[in-house]
Amino acid sequence: MARYTGPKVKLSRRVGVPIADIPKHTARRQLTPPGVHGYRGRRLRDYGLRLNEKQKLRYHYGVLEKQFRRYMEESRRRKGNTGEVLLQVLERRLDNVVRRMGVVRTIWASRQMVAHGHILVNGKKVDRPSYETSVGDVISLKEGIQSLARDNMESLAGHIVPEWLDYNPSELTAKIVALPSSDQVPFDVNTNLIVEFYR
């Protein structure tokens, strides 16, 4: 299973925005560019802007380049706006759905929870973080991990569950009731630049 195992804050510094909602990433001083003095070189050209936007989206969902490229090709084949479809595909990844439920803090923690077999989709164990959920799927947690999830929920008291998820915090279950839209993504991203990058 390929995944990024290096320093995570480095990714936030590289793209200039926090990619995880934890103090380590959101601290103002952490968003200076990497390097001893925070390199303030020339402004980015068109290619650099598009690359930065693409990397921001990749890092946010914890996806490697080859996989992201596949998602892009799949989004082109489907009907609708390519950028919108790409966001829908990424948002409906199982590891991301677990993160949006608010039972874990980061995409890396949710990925681990899925890979260790703690997540059920429609009552069946699924241990692939990239599993694409569909409208109507019910996501639940195994009994052994529920106490840990409740502790995490207490530390994430202000977490807002998106409207496309019908979340029941008492039973720790969530049902996907609609496809996510781009305005429900909790960070700014310009999908047009990403689509242009792959032309």
| Residue 138, both tokens | 């019910």
Residues 72 and 98 in one domain: no
The sheet with strand 173-176 has its strands ordered as 124-125, 119-121, 138-141, 173-176, 165-168
pLDDT tens readout for residues 7-57? 888 888 888 888 877 777 777 666 676 667 666 666 778 898 899 899 999
In-domain check, residue 2? no
Residues 29 and 98 in one domain: no
| Boundaries of domain holding 140 | 93-178
* CATH number of domain containing 79: 1.10.1050.10
First to last CA, the chain: 28
Q: How many domains does the chain have?
A: 2
pLDDT tens readout for residues 93-134? 999 999 998 888 889 999 999 999 999 999 999 999 999 999
> Residue type at 43?
R
In-domain check, residue 73? yes
Residues 159 and 143 in one domain: yes
Residues 83 and 103 in one domain: no
* CATH number of domain containing 145: 3.10.290.10
pLDDT tens readout for residues 135-147? 999 999 998 888 8
Quick one: pLDDT at residue 106?
A: 87
Quick one: pLDDT at residue 73?
A: 93
